[in-house]
Amino acid sequence: MSMDALDRTELPLEAQKKLEECVAMLAAYRFGEQGPPLETTFAEIEMFGHHVGRMVAQAVDEKLAAQHADHFQGQSECPACQHSCEIVNEPLQRKMQTTDGDVPISEPLCHCPVCNRDFFPSADRFED
């Protein structure tokens, strides 16, 4: 799958249905079952859409980062001395600053007994 923009019509039908249900639930939460009142401006509707989009983006980032972290098992090579180090079973909990806001992530951690340093085996997979 390409990392280009995704049109919702490209989603499987089940995902499209779930998205529609989620949108309906969020719209009802914000504006009630009858939708936005007459005096609501499109700018207000658009702003709510942007806030929801950011919330969804953060949730997707958090979910995928957790799944990605699960791939780091066993050992990883120390970036300083290339010693093979155990990945600690307790990942470090921290917040990653994203375009859409802070996202809590669990990052796998290693400790090198040779260098006496901690490092993240996933560090080269995060870009600034």
Q: What is the tens place of the pLDDT at every residue in 95-112?
A: 989 999 999 988 888 889
Domain assignment present for 21: no
Average pLDDT, the chain: 88
Domain assignment present for 45: yes
Domain assignment present for 79: yes
Domain tally, the chain: 1
Domain assignment present for 95: yes
Domain assignment present for 2: no
Extended beta strands in 26-115, E state? 75-77, 84-86, 92-98, 101-107, 110-112
Among 20-29, 37-46, 49-58, 90-99, the least confident range: 90-99
pTM of the model: 0.75
Domain range holding 103?
Answer: 41-123
Domain assignment present for 77: yes
Q: Which of the four pLDDT bands, split at 50, 70 and 90, describes residue 126?
A: very low
Cα(17)–Cα(106) distance, integer angstroms: 30
Domain assignment present for 57: yes
Domain assignment present for 48: yes
